[in-house]
Amino acid sequence: MELSNISQAQKERLSHIDFRTYFLGEIGRSDLVARFGIGEAAATRDITLYRELAPANLDYDTKLKSYVKSESFIPLFEYSPPQVLAALSQGFGEDFIGSHKPMVRCETPAELNWPLLPVLAVLTRAIYHKKVVKIRYRSIGSGLSEREIVPFVLLDNGLRWHVRAFDRNRQAFIDFVVTRIADPVIVDDEPKEHELSEADIQWNRIVEMILVPHPNLPHPETVEMDYAMKDGALKVNVRAAAAGYVLRRWNVDCTENHSLEGAEFHLWLKNWQALYGVENLVIAPGYDLSKGAC
């Protein structure tokens, strides 16, 4: 049977099988039942049909009692990085079948780079199954190196995608730029307790930031309206590991005396003291490296 002869509804279910297998590494009847509200018999027929269309893509794991990604897996459907990342990060349905058109005219800033899907797929499977990954990583400071990492979350800083992971080389939790990762391979090794997300202090610490209109603005009420502020302030809770990204993305002046000038600074971090101990503030507007604080 060919895809062209299959109904749209069944194509979407086949796409779900393909997507979960590619990016999460496994698929079971219960996944289809939960996603589409179909019976187990129908889910079995869908998996059987998928195996007919792509016989080399799935292996049956008797311990898990579900199908897992084979070593010879080749995606049955085509995916684009924006769709994949929207499905992974925002929980949208991964219905990639057919054309998708905006309901109204929209224009968004151009994206200059996207992660390679084969790289992203290995990382997401490792995150999903809590596995160790061997990578080749190229950094601006040290060039090319080989690392073993334990990834646990994808991070979008507004400019590019990172994966936060424990780095066995540096024995620390750090953020890796996904587009700088090459040749990722899942390693047959279980992460140690200190390598899991529960041990990442910066990830588990929550920082409350109080953002207010920048005191240098002539009409602060405009900014209050922009951000739906209440009583002239916007309270935002962020993980310490992501605080620097948020401050840079929104051009928040985090100096003690709101001293940054420029039309791009609409917000000031009123409780700048809350940032003590946050590690990635070197990218935050107004960060004073010599003082170790904003």
Is residue 290 predicted with pLDDT exceeding 70?
Answer: no
Take residue 51 and report the two structure tokens written for it. Answer: 């195996």
Residue whose C-alpha is closest to residue 124's, from 21, 23, 16, 20: 23
12 touches 95 (CB < 8 A): yes
Does 289 score more than 60 pLDDT?
no
pLDDT above 70 (res 249) = yes
Phi-psi bin for 207: left (phi > 0), alpha (psi -120 to 50), beta?
Answer: beta
Spatial distance between the Cα atoms of 126 and 165, rounded to a whole number of angstroms? 11
Domain ranges for the chain: 3-78, 117-200, 205-283
**Mean pLDDT over all residues of the chain?**
92
- Which residue matches tokens 């990722």? 184
pLDDT digits (tens, 9 = 90+) for 191-207: 999 999 999 999 999 99
Q: Both tokens of residue 22?
A: 């590619």
Q: Is the pLDDT of residue 82 over 90?
A: no
Which CATH number applies to 3-78? Answer: 1.10.10.1470
- CATH, range 117-200: 2.30.30
pTM of the model: 0.89
Q: pLDDT band at 103, cuts 50/70/90?
A: low
Q: Indicate the pairing of strand 206-213 with strand 234-239.
A: antiparallel
Q: Look up residue 75 and give its two tokens.
A: 């995606």
Q: CA-CA distance, 268 to 175, in Å (whole number)?
A: 26
> Residue range 262-291: average pLDDT?
87
pLDDT of 21-32, one tens digit each?
Answer: 999 999 999 999
| pLDDT over 90 at 72, yes or no | yes
